[in-house]
Amino acid sequence: MKRWFPAALAVLAVGLALYPLQATGYGVRVMLQLFMWIALAQSWNLISGLTGYVSFGHVVFFGTGAYASSILIVTLGWAWPLACLGGGAVAAVLALLIGWPCLRLKGPYFAIATLGLNEVMRVVVSYYEGLTGGGNGLSLPTLYASVEIYYAMGLVAAAVTVVTYVIVTSRFGLRLMTIREDEVAAEAMGIDTLRYKLYAFLLSAAAPGIVGGLSARDQGYIEPLSVFPLIMTITMIVMALFGGKGTIWGPVLGAALLFAFQEVVWARFIYLHQLLFGAIIVGVVLLMPRGILGVLQQKYNLPRTI
Amino acid sequence: MGVLITPSMIGQVVISGLLAGSLYAMVALGLGLIFGVMRVLNVAHGPLLMMGAYTTFWLFQWIGFNPYLSLLISMPLLFLVGVALQRFLVRRVVDAPELSSLLLTFGVSIALVNLAQLAFTSDLRAVEYLTGSFVVGPFALSKPRLATCGFAIAITLGAFVFLRSTRLGKAIRAVSQSREVAQVCGIDVQRIHLITFGLGSALAAAGGSLVAVMVAIQPEMGQVYTFKSFLVIVLGGAGNYPGALLGGLLLGLVEQLASLFLTAQVNEAVAYVLLVVVLLIRPTGLLKGRV
Amino acid sequence: MVKRFGGVAAVNGVSLALEPGRIYGLIGPNGSGKTTLFNCITGVDQADEGEILFKGRRIERMKPHQIFHLGVGRTFQVIRVFPELTALENLLVVTTSGYAEAQRRARELLALVKLERLAGEFAGNLSYGQQKLVEFIRVLMTDPEMILLDEPAAGVNRTLLNELLDAVRRLRDQGKTILLVEHDMKVVMGLCETVCVLDHGEKLAEGAPGVIQADERVIEAYFGR
């Protein structure tokens, strides 16, 4: 495992980097979406996989980033790369503001609170019509930049994975995991759990914010319903869960497999798509809650860094 | 804003709030029972309500069945659906970490909504049965809302009498407080779980049947009620059933009051903001609940 | 100090003064408030009335992690190691010192209790006794001045127990303050210099082991009237 893996990764990276040169526009957009989902699932994993605090409204950071960066582009004329980074920053600030009070709540209540936050932001965005276009949505100036955005998304997905690796192999990551294992004992052992949870939450919000901005730029148009949907939160959760939450490559694997599945199924069974997705969710929860890599980890006593 | 707010406006709002709140209380009681007894966050509560609404609609459409009498059909029907869901699916996530029950019930929820879309299409439906209002002094009391409130109160009171006085009801409360002790006292906890989920579903269905007369019926209509039920449970305190009643009324009141001062859009957000605020100040609920 | 849950005072007006370099025992029938007292001292619960002072500082409103960093460590009645972390990692998460320093100290402590070969094993896979030891040395990672042990003898075999007790005596000789809750009377009487008895949340008696053993009120509390 140890020797061929980095080599295989390098080959994959080169392949992905060269992909746009001979792929169709549609192909590029599909892959770009895959990168987006990897970044989202990986980010959810950072807070919920490591600390055990279930963020059930995580798409709020995606939507906030989408609107923040789009507003920066439309009203202040920023270039999209900078605007997207701005979107990520705004999302991180939101995480800080909301995390400070909400991370003190216990399990189910934190989940409900984050769900509530998502709905609040959706309505707030609809309300400030002057800035956001309200229910009519916000249109961005026309731009054909799918290839550039493809690379940007890829970079973010890679960056989040690298950050996850660094965290999981560090003491910071260990401390996050103690929160998941036994928060009372962690506190008693001198770990300021609120502070650590906040850091994790902050980190988990930045990438969705950036990715939200990139997605908005690529689509050219956003509206509240399209960027704050509960189904997106659920999708990123199921992806992370399916691959293995709490692992490094689990979210990547889960995102890739489920995304491929969705592309195939959506094309053929449009009407049954939701039903099948519901069945998958139920299946994953009941049959493999530890996810593919989680199961492998347990069975073959693999290290934490897979 | 330049709007003069008269006492009679306040009065009207209070009345509307209580009327709406009674429905919220009943539906939320269903969710609260499920959460209190099994620690399951039932995201499928809204779709169950939706199914109750469609039951009423089709009965009305096909054989002109009285919408209010259809409660006698929708409630038992959804009771059975609830029992089936519990028996085959929800049972596995009782007492599991919240992520499991949230995801599982969400999966069930989109399956139900999708099934409804396939079976009934997304066309808006309506039950034209009762319209108009009684005018009492300066207040206008919408007839459908009054009927809904009346039935909701009756059903909720019935539920409370059931919980308080019958053996089964007491068993449910016992399991809700401590499963181990209940087991030791000879209570068949599995059976209680089945019945509780059925009851919760029946209450949701009752809500659906009652609102069928007032709002547009479509597969996704339940979502907003799911969330408001969560809110009411949090307001009233988890596992605190009278609290759900108060929470429902409070939500109804706050919503109507907010509509006086804010636009309809933001009205929706009021419920959510209230939730977040309450969670931050008193996570155990306004009345005492168990965390 | 007073601590109430609902209408019941779990701890009702208990006063204690502990000196460094001594081992204190806290005993009493079940439900007498021992663990609640522990929880209040370590910040897991908050006292309703009264003060808790550590080296002259009031700590009753502090959060557990702050109290820990002041120099108070504790173990738990039900073992609370982090099961999905290795034994070594269980120790590493505790200190704030540099990684290398922490590793060194962790391995040192593991060697002390002869668990070096299990350093890379997930704590959840260890035996009960091994987990107990890991929890014990985890407390020692930051060299706290005061150590609270909640039922250290529970479920532990004779050999292991003697090693643990020796270790506790050595800590006492280093000048630390040790407070332990224990049901095993032999351990308490053999180890502690001062024993404090709680009953229904109140302090019944306090003194040398021999005195306590002979105290009629204590016997009554344990065996009923």
CA distance A16 to A151: 9
- Cβ neighbours of residue A265 closer than 8 Å, sequence gap 6 or more: A272, A273, A276
CA distances from residue B222 to B83, B104, B159, B181, B227 in whole angstroms, order as listed: 19, 17, 22, 36, 9
Q: Which amino acid is at A231?
A: I
Q: Sort strands B139-142 and B133-136 into parallel, antiparallel or unpaired.
A: antiparallel
Q: Judge whether residue B290 has pLDDT over 50.
A: no
Interface test with A, best of C59, C65, C80, C146 (most A CBs within 10 A): C65
Instruction: Concatenate the DSSP letters of all residues of B88-124 into one string.
Output: HTGGGGTTS-HHHHHHHHHHHHHHHHHHHHHHH-S--
* Structure letter (DSSP) for residue A271: G
Give residue A159's pLDDT.
96
Instruction: Concatenate the DSSP letters of all residues of A184-250 into one string.
Output: HHHHHTT--HHHHHHHHHHHHHHHHHHHHHHHHHHHSEE-HHHHS-HHHHHHHHHHHHHH-TTSSSH
What mean pLDDT do residues A6-26 have?
A: 87
Report the percentage of chain B scoring pLDDT > 70: 93
- B neighbours by CB contacts (3+ pairs under 8 Å): A
A6 contact C CB<8A: no
* Residue corresponding to tokens 């910040």: C43
Interface test with B, best of A45, A60, A100, A120 (most B CBs within 10 A): A120
Q: Which pLDDT tens digit goes with each residue over A234-250? A: 999 999 999 998 899 99
* Structure letter (DSSP) for residue A270: G
Q: Sort strands C57-58 and C53-54 into parallel, antiparallel or unpaired.
A: antiparallel
What mean pLDDT do residues B14-21 have?
A: 89
Confidence of residue B95 (pLDDT cuts 50, 70, 90): confident
What mean pLDDT do residues B30-52 have?
A: 93
Residues of chain A that touch chain B, judged by Cβ-Cβ distance less than 8 Å: 48, 52, 54, 56, 101-102, 104-109, 111-113, 115-117, 119-120, 123-124, 126-127, 230-231, 234, 237-238, 241, 271-272, 274-275, 277-282, 284-286, 289
Kindly determine whether residue A278 and residue B99, on different chains, have CB atoms separated by under 8 Å.
Answer: no
A119 Cα distance to chain centroid: 18
Q: What is the mean pLDDT of chain A?
A: 90
Report the percentage of chain A scoring pLDDT > 70: 99
Looking up residue C79, the CATH number of its domain turns out to be 3.40.50.300
* Residue corresponding to tokens 């009519």: A136
Q: Judge whether residue A153 has pLDDT over 60.
A: yes
Q: Judge whether residue C128 has pLDDT over 50.
A: yes
CA distances from residue C60 to A193, C56, C67, C196 in whole angstroms, order as listed: 19, 12, 9, 21
> Is residue C179 classed as helix, strand or coil in its secondary structure?
strand
Confidence of residue C148 (pLDDT cuts 50, 70, 90): very high
The overall longest dimension of chain B from CA atoms, in Å, is 65
Give residue B285's pLDDT.
57
* Residue corresponding to tokens 């507003």: A71
CA distances from residue A287 to A211, A290, B72, B100, C61 in whole angstroms, order as listed: 31, 9, 37, 11, 45
Q: How many domains in chain C?
A: 1
Written in H, E and C, the secondary structure of B135-201 is EECCEEEEHHHHHHHHHHHHHHHHHHHHHHHCHHHHHHHHHHHCHHHHHHCCCCHHHHHHHHHHHHH
What mean pLDDT do residues B92-112 have?
A: 90
Q: Whole-model pTM?
A: 0.89
Give exposure, C64-77, as e/b (b: 16+ Cβ within 10 Å). bbebbeebbbbbbe
CA distance B235 to B24: 12
Written in H, E and C, the secondary structure of B209-260 is HHHCCCCCECCCCCHHHHHHHHHHHHHHCCCCHHHHHHHHHHHHHHHHHHHH
Kindly determine whether residue A111 and residue B103, on different chains, have CB atoms separated by under 8 Å.
Answer: no
Confidence of residue B284 (pLDDT cuts 50, 70, 90): low
What mean pLDDT do residues C46-54 have?
A: 85
> Is residue C58 classed as helix, strand or coil in its secondary structure?
strand
Q: How many CB atoms lie within 10 A of CB C217?
A: 12
* Structure letter (DSSP) for residue C9: E
Q: Sort strands C194-199 and C53-54 into parallel, antiparallel or unpaired.
A: unpaired
Give residue C90's pLDDT.
92
Of the partner residues B118, B234, B263, the one whose CB lies closest to the CB of residue A112? B234
Kindly determine whether residue B99 and residue A124, on different chains, have CB atoms separated by under 8 Å.
Answer: no
What mean pLDDT do residues A18-46 have?
A: 92
Give residue B242's pLDDT.
85
Q: Which amino acid is at B192?
A: I
CA distance B265 to B268: 6
C80 contact A CB<8A: yes
CA distance A18 to B113: 42
Question: Which residue from B66, B82, B54 is spatially nearest to B151, judged by alpha carbons?
Answer: B66
Measured on CA atoms in the order C147, C151, C157, C158, is the torsion positive or negative?
positive
Give residue B127's pLDDT.
86
Q: The tokens of B88 are what?
A: 């085959």
Q: Which pLDDT tens digit goes with each residue over B211-252? A: 999 889 999 999 889 988 988 888 777 777 888 888 899 889
Contact indicator for A244, A250 with CB cutoff of 8 Å: yes
Confidence of residue B12 (pLDDT cuts 50, 70, 90): confident
- Angle between helical axes of B223-236 and B7-38 (0-180°, round to 10): 90
Interface test with A, best of B31, B92, B102 (most A CBs within 10 A): B102
Q: Judge whether residue B70 has pLDDT over 50.
A: yes
CA distances from residue C92 to C76, C124, C126, C134 in whole angstroms, order as listed: 19, 16, 17, 12
> Is residue B5 classed as helix, strand or coil in its secondary structure?
coil
Q: Which pLDDT tens digit goes with each residue over A91-150? A: 999 999 989 888 988 888 899 889 888 988 988 888 888 888 877 888 888 888 888 999
Contact indicator for B39, B199 with CB cutoff of 8 Å: no
Give residue B104's pLDDT.
94
Which contacts qualify for B157-165: CB closer than 8 Å, 24 or more apart?
B159/B26, B159/B29, B159/B199, B159/B203, B160/B241, B160/B242, B160/B245, B163/B241
* Residue A294 Rama label (left phi>0; alpha psi -120 to 50; beta): alpha
Radius of gyration of chain B from Cα atoms? 19
For residue C206, what are the domain limits?
A: 2-223
Confidence of residue B268 (pLDDT cuts 50, 70, 90): low
Q: The tokens of C54 are what?
A: 């550590």
Q: What is the mean pLDDT of chain C?
A: 86
- Could you give the count of Cα atoms lying within 13 Å of B25 in the half-sphere of its Cβ? 32
Q: Judge whether residue A1 has pLDDT over 70.
A: no
CA distance B10 to B100: 44
CA distances from residue C143 to B79, C38, C174 in whole angstroms, order as listed: 60, 19, 10
Q: How many CB atoms lie within 10 A of CB A225?
A: 12
Q: Judge whether residue C100 has pLDDT over 80.
A: yes
Written in H, E and C, the secondary structure of C86-130 is EHHHHHHCCCCCCHHHHHHHHHHHHHHCCCHHHCCCEHHHCCHHH
Q: Which pLDDT tens digit goes with each residue over A184-220? A: 999 999 999 999 999 999 999 999 999 999 999 999 9
Contact indicator for C18, C29 with CB cutoff of 8 Å: no
CA distance A243 to A5: 18
Contacts A238 to B, Cβ<8 Å: 103
